[in-house]
Amino acid sequence: GRSIPKEKGLDHTLALLKEGYNFIPERRSELQSDIFQTRILGQKAICIAGEEAASVFYDENLFTRKGAAPKRVQKTLFGENAIQTLDGEEHKQRKRMFLSMMTPGRLDELAKITREQWRAKIPEWEQRDEIVLFHEAEEIMCRIACQWAGVPITEVEVKQRAIDFGTMIDTFASVGERYREGKKARSRSEEWIEKIIKQIRAKKLHPLENTAAYIIAWHRDLKGKLLDDRMAAIELINILRPIVAIGRFVTFGALALRDYPEEREKVKDDQGGYSQLFVQEVRRFYPFGPFTGARVREDFTWRDYEFKKGTLVLLDIYGTNHHPDLWEHPEEFRPERFKDWKESPFSFIPQGGGDHYMGHRCAGEWVTVLVMKESLEFLTKEITYDVPTQDLTYEMGRIPALPNSRFIIKNIQQS
Ligand code: HEM
């Protein structure tokens, strides 16, 4: 076999924390290779990028998720031992549970809830001098998530719950105090949702049958057993938290509307389904998921490179979405590129690649696209606002990235 290009040095965890989304792409370009070997978190890791690399990464005969997600990511972002860490039949059974929530009828309902929750905010915003769109979006997403999933939430608690979900997302790549805040936010949320699960099981709370809360509370595993209370809570949070995360893409979408004023008009007119193209380009262009990881299941060879059982492999999500072999002028924001786009499950991977049912590709991709569309149509069609001077830059070294000012808007009026 050929030897995989290797980065010198004992450990590159600090470089990864500093360079963020650029860590893998920069080394790829330095080494002139879409595959290289490095050391992070005290272990060897092979980094790969591109369409063919993604198709290998999502071959479940070659890779396992067991022991792939670092504990610190599980203690903030995912929850411990949840769907992200499962393999084989156990994973497929759990995945069918998630995907059974995404029926056309339930997605229509989600669109309706999304419109209503944004509209409900207009009177308050018209009275205010300015708002921070990112914080408002996270709170609105939290309301949408709970309503859609059948989770009761009171007006008194919604702010703190939204902040907790936001903190879990914001701290998964953090160390020290920020990481501890992430863990605390997760514990509080798990305790809250576990109580909800217990109430449903005690028949004291009756969410509608097709909601996430109902489906997860009564889901049976391959042995016919209910999930234990905590695991059910963790999986229900795996629906609520990522819906809150859509607030980040909405904020980047608002940034694109401001940076490319001609786009604003096109989204507003929505001729020929333009807002769909716009949403896809937001998901491709802006940094959110940096990479995803798995371990080699059994020794195998790819392109004459040897992959040894147990090795950690990281698939470059951001870099594949910006790969010059796959995207013309990848650093330009061009929604039209999605017009005649030859769909491939492995080249456009903001939420993972492959098949939703068979592999680990994001269960919430349709939800994300739909909520983004409704939200960005709201921002263009239903209100007008000014974007005052502020620091809208975002750092590629910060995972997950966000505009520094969190997107302040003023003079909000219903249009
Ligand atoms: C998995 C990204 C929204 C539910 C994933 C993965 C990524 C991702 C990268 C892992 C892919 C892999 O490792 O192979 C995102 C991004 C989102 C988002 C950037 C934008 C907000 C959502 C939403 C939901 C959701 C809205 C639920 C309604 C899930 C679940 C998994 C997952 C359950 C685990 C799937 C599995 O392990 O089989 N997501 N996601 N995500 N996502 Fe999302």
Q: Are 156 and 246 in contact (CB under 8 A)?
A: no
**pLDDT for 1:** 85
CA of 240 to the centre of ligand 1 (A): 11
Q: For each successive 10 residues of the chain (415 residues), what is the average pLDDT?
A: 92 95 97 97 95 98 96 95 97 98 98 98 98 98 98 98 98 94 98 98 98 98 97 98 98 98 96 95 98 98 97 98 97 97 95 97 98 98 98 98 98 97
Residue 42 main-chain phi, psi, to 5 deg: 70, 15
Which residues sit with their C-beta closer than 6 Å to ligand 1? 83-84, 95, 98, 238-239, 242-243, 245-246, 249, 288-289, 292, 350-352, 360-364, 367-368
Q: Note the pLDDT of residue 274.
A: 97
The per-residue pLDDT for 41 is 87
How many residues does this entry show for the chain? 415
Atom of ligand 1 lying closest to residue 94 CA? 38
Please report which helix (H) or strand (E) contains residue 315, including its range: strand 312-316
For atom 41 of ligand 1, the residue with the nearest CA is: 364
Q: At what angle do helices 104-119 and 365-377 cross, to 10 degrees?
A: 30
Structural domain contains residue 56: yes
Which one, of 102, 52, 112, 119, lies nearest residue 305 by Cα? 52
List the structure tokens of 46: 């092979």
- 405 is a domain residue: yes
Domain annotation covers residue 267: yes
β-bridge pairing 312-316 and 43-48:
parallel
Q: Going by CA atoms, what residue is nearest to atom 9 of ligand 1?
A: 351
Give me the CATH number covering residue 208.
Answer: 1.10.630.10
Please tell me the residue having the least CA distance from ligand 1 atom 2.
351
List the residue whose alpha carbon is closest to atom 27 of ligand 1.
364
Predicted-complex ipTM score: 0.99
User: Coil, helix or strand for 54?
Assistant: helix
Residue nearest to atom 20 of ligand 1 (CA): 246
pLDDT value for 297:
98
Preceding amide of 400 cis, omega within 30: yes
Within a domain: residue 180? yes
Do the domain assignments include residue 351? yes
Can you give the pTM of this predicted structure?
Answer: 0.98
DSSP 239-260: HHHHHHHHHHHHHHHHHHHHH-
Domain coverage including residue 169: 13-414
Is 92 a domain residue?
yes
Ligand 1 geometric centre to CA of 78 (Å): 10
Overall domain count for the chain: 1
pLDDT at 315: 98
Whether 399 is in a domain gets the answer yes
**Which mutation among 89, 291, 362 tests ligand 1's pocket best, with the greatest number of atoms within 8 A of CB?**
362
Domain assignment present for residue 286? The answer is yes
* Residues 368, 358 contacting (CB under 8 angstroms): no
